[in-house]
C-alpha cells in the first residue's frame, strides 16, 4: 500500500450550547458542527468533496416515547442544506460507536470505497427535557423525511432476563458492581478506595474546568467529590452524583477523515493532518453475568494490544489519553487493560470526562477524538489513545492517533479474528434459578431519598454458576455500605424469578 491511501483526520468541529433552546433542532446542530469541521480543514473544497456521511445515532431513539420526535435521517437533511451528494450511514447503539465507526470508515477509505468521510453526532437532551418540564411538550424535531440511512452492524440485547429483573439493566447500578470488584482486586479498604475515587474525579474535573466546551466547567476537590452535600447525592453506592455521566446536555461534534492523497488534492495543509495509526474493536460477553471477571475486560485488552501493534507505538510513547469515563470503574478497567497507572501524569482524559465535560449519549467519544486532534496539532511529535465503551463495559473500540505518519502505512486489522481470541475463553454460566450458598464477586447499593434501598449482588454459587440477586435487608444494606463484601459468603433463595440474598 502506498502512503497516499493512509487515512488522516483533517477537520474537527465541536459545539456546546448551554441556553436550552428547543427551537434549535438536531439537524441545525449537526449542520453547525459539520460546517465548523469543514472550515477547520482550511480548504474551501472539502465540504463539496464529502461523499460519505456517518451519523452517530441519537440516544433518544432508544426511548420509545421520544423517538418519534427525532429526525429519521438527519444526515440526509444536512446534506441537502449544504449541497452535499453523500451516501448516508448510521448504526444502532453504544458509546463505542464514534471510534468503531471511524475505524470502519477509515478501512473503507484505504480500500477506495469512500473518498471523504464526515462523522458527526449530537444530543440535545437538555433542551428536550427543558421543554417538557416547562409544559411545552415534545419539541417537533422530525425532519419529515421517511427514508433511513444504511445501517452498519448490529448489537444483540446486552442484558439477560435475570439481570433485568434484578436491576442490572441500568448503568447506574451495573458500574458500581465493577467498582467493588476493582477495590477488592487491589486490596483497598473503604478509606483507601474512597480516596482513590475522590482523586480520580478531581483530576478529571481539572481538565473540564479548563475546557470551554465542557458542560460543567468546574474543578471539584477530592473531598467534594465524595461528599453528599450541596446536591451531590449518593446515587448507587459508592457513586455520588458527580461520579455519574451527565446525559442531559446539548453538545455536538463532527470529524472529517480522508486519505493523504485526497487531502493533498483538496489543498489541506499537512500541518492539520493527524494520522490514524492504530484501530481495533472487540466485545466482551454480551451479559455482565457471563463475564470471566468483573474487574477486567479481555476485549479491551485485546483491542488495545492490536492497536499498539498496528501503530508501531508503545504505551510510553503516547502523550495523551482519553479513556471512556461514564463511571470511575470504566476508567480503572481501561487502565488495567492498558497497563497504565490511574495517576499517570499524562492524565486519563483530554475533555474532562463524561461526568463533567458531558455524556452526550452515544456521541461522547467523538468529542474525545476531536479534542485529541486539537491537542496533537499543538505538539511536534505527539500521539494519543482514545478508548470508547458501549453497554456495560461490553463493546470496546480503540484508536491511536499521531502527528507522525509512522514507519509504514496503516492497514486495517482483522477484528473478526481478534474477536475469536476473546470468545475462545472459559466463561461462567448465568443461572435463572439459583439457590444455596453464594460467594460475592461484586455488589452495589441503590439509594432512594438519601437512604439505601436495595442491594444488587453478583456472585458464584457452589455449583460454580453465576447468579444475580437482590436484598432489602437492613443488615445487608448496612454491611455493603460500610465494607467491601467481595469474597464473603451468603445464601440465595429463589421465588418466581427473583433471587434474594442474605448473610
So what's the pLDDT on residue 214? Answer: 98
**pLDDT of 77 strictly over 80:** yes
What distance in Å separates the CA atoms of residue 401 and residue 383, rounded to the nearest whole number? 5
Angle at 120 between CA 119 and CA 121, to 5 degrees: 145
Q: Give residue 146's pLDDT band: very low, low, confident or very high (50, 70, 90).
A: confident
Identify the CATH number of the domain in which residue 478 sits: 2.40.50.840
Residue 216 in any domain: the answer is: no
Q: Range of 352's domain? A: 3-154+247-423
List the single range of 59-73, 325-339, 372-386, 421-435 with lowest mean pLDDT: 59-73
| Cα–Cα distance list, 31 to 2, 60, 87 (Å) | 34, 19, 16
Q: Give residue 63's pLDDT band: very low, low, confident or very high (50, 70, 90).
A: confident
Q: Give residue 1's pLDDT band: very low, low, confident or very high (50, 70, 90).
A: low
Residue 390 in any domain: the answer is: yes
386 Cβ contact partners less than 8 Å away, ≥ 6 residues apart: 99, 321, 322, 365, 368, 369, 372, 398, 399, 401
**One domain for residues 404 and 327:** yes
Residue 160 in any domain: the answer is: no
**One domain for residues 364 and 301:** yes
**One domain for residues 302 and 375:** yes
How many other β-carbons are positioned within 10 Å of the β-carbon of residue 421? 14
**One domain for residues 451 and 381:** no
Identify the CATH number of the domain in which residue 134 sits: 3.40.47.10
What distance in Å separates the CA atoms of residue 29 and residue 359, rounded to the nearest whole number? 16
Choosing from 369, 395, 423, the residue where a domain stops is 423
**One domain for residues 368 and 473:** no
Choosing from 367, 390, 423, the residue where a domain stops is 423
**One domain for residues 407 and 467:** no
**One domain for residues 340 and 465:** no
| Cα–Cα distance list, 215 to 20, 389, 400, 463 (Å) | 12, 20, 26, 48
**One domain for residues 265 and 408:** yes
Residue 315 in any domain: the answer is: yes
Task: State pTM to two decimals.
Answer: 0.98
Q: Which residues of 479-489 are buried (b: 16+ CB within 10 A; e: fewer)?
A: bbbeebbbebe
233 Cβ contact partners less than 8 Å away, ≥ 6 residues apart: 240, 241, 447, 450
Residue 20 in any domain: the answer is: yes
Radius of gyration of the chain (CA): 23
**pLDDT of 156 strictly over 70:** yes
Choosing from 423, 456, 480, the residue where a domain stops is 423
Amino acid at each position: 500500500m502506498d502512503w497516499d491511501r493512509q487515512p488522516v483526520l483533517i477537520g474537527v468541529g465541536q459545539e456546546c450550547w448551554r441556553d436550552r433552546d428547543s427551537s434549535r433542532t438536531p439537524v441545525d446542530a449537526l449542520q453547525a458542527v459539520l460546517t465548523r469541521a469543514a472550515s477547520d480543514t482550511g480548504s474551501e473544497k472539502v465540504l463539496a468533496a464529502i461523499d460519505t456521511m456517518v451519523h452517530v445515532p441519537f440516544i433518544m431513539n432508544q426511548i420509545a416515547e421520544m423517538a418519534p420526535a427525532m429526525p429519521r435521517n438527519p444526515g440526509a437533511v444536512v446534506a441537502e442544506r449544504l449541497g452535499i451528494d453523500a451516501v448516508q450511514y448510521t448504526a444502532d447503539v453504544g458509546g463505542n460507536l464514534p471510534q468503531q465507526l471511524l475505524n470502519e470508515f477509515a478501512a473503507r477509505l484505504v480500500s477506495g470505497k469512500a473518498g471523504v468521510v464526515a462523522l458527526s453526532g449530537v444530543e440535545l437532551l437538555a433542551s428536550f427535557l427543558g421543554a417538557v418540564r416547562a409544559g411545552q411538550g415534545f419539541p417537533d424535531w422530525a425532519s419529515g423525511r421517511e427514508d433511513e440511512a444504511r445501517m452498519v452492524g448490529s448489537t444483540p440485547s446486552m442484558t439477560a432476563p435475570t439481570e433485568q429483573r434484578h436491576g442490572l439493566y441500568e448503568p447506574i447500578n451495573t458500574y458500581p458492581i465493577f467498582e467493588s470488584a476493582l477495590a477488592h482486586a487491589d486490596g483497598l479498604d473503604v478509606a483507601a478506595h474512597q480516596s482513590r475515587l475522590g482523586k480520580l474525579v478531581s483530576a478529571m474535573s481539572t481538565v473540564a474546568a479548563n475546557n470551554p466546551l465542557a458542560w460543567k466547567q468546574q474543578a471539584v476537590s477530592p473531598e467534594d467529590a465524595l461528599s453528599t452535600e450541596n446536591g451531590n447525592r449518593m446515587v448507587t453506592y459508592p457513586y455520588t452524583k458527580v461520579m455519574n455521566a451527565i446525559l442531559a446536555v446539548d453538545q455536538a461534534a463532527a470529524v472529517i477523515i480522508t486519505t493523504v492523497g485526497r487531502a493533498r488534492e483538496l489543498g489541506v495543509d499537512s500541518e492539520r493532518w493527524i494520522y490514524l495509526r492504530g484501530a481495533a474493536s472487540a466485545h466482551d460477553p454480551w451479559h455482565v453475568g457471563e463475564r470471566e471477571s468483573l474487574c477486567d475486560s479481555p476485549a479491551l485488552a485485546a483491542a488495545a494490544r492490536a492497536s499498539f501493534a498496528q501503530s508501531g507505538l508503545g504505551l510510553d510513547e503516547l502523550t495523551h489519553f482519553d479513556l471512556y469515563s461514564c463511571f470511575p470503574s470504566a476508567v480503572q478497567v481501561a487502565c488495567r487493560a492498558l497497563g497504565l497507572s490511574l495517576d499517570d501524569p499524562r492524565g486519563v482524559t483530554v475533555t474532562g470526562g463524561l461526568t463533567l465535560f458531558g455524556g452526550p449519549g452515544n456521541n461522547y467519544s467523538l468529542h474525545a477524538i476531536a479534542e485529541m486532534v486539537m491537542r496533537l496539532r499543538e505538539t511536534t511529535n505527539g500521539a494519543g489513545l482514545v478508548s470508547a465503551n458501549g453497554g456495560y463495559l461490553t463493546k470496546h473500540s480503540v484508536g491511536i492517533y499521531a502527528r507522525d505518519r509512522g514507519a509504514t502505512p496503516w492497514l486495517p486489522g482483522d477484528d473478526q479474528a481478534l474477536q475469536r481470541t476473546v470468545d475462545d475463553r472459559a466463561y461462567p454460566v448465568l443461572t435463572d434459578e439459583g439457590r444455596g450458598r453464594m460467594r460475592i464477586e461484586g455488589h452495589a447499593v441503590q439509594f432512594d431519598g438519601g437512604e439505601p434501598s436495595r442491594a444488587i449482588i453478583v456472585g458464584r454459587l457452589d455449583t460454580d454458576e453465576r447468579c444475580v440477586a437482590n436484598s432489602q435487608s437492613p443488615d445487608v444494606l448496612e454491611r455493603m455500605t460500610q465494607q467491601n463484601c467481595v469474597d464473603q459468603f451468603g445464601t440465595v433463595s429463589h421465588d418466581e424469578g427473583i433471587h434474594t440474598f442474605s448473610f
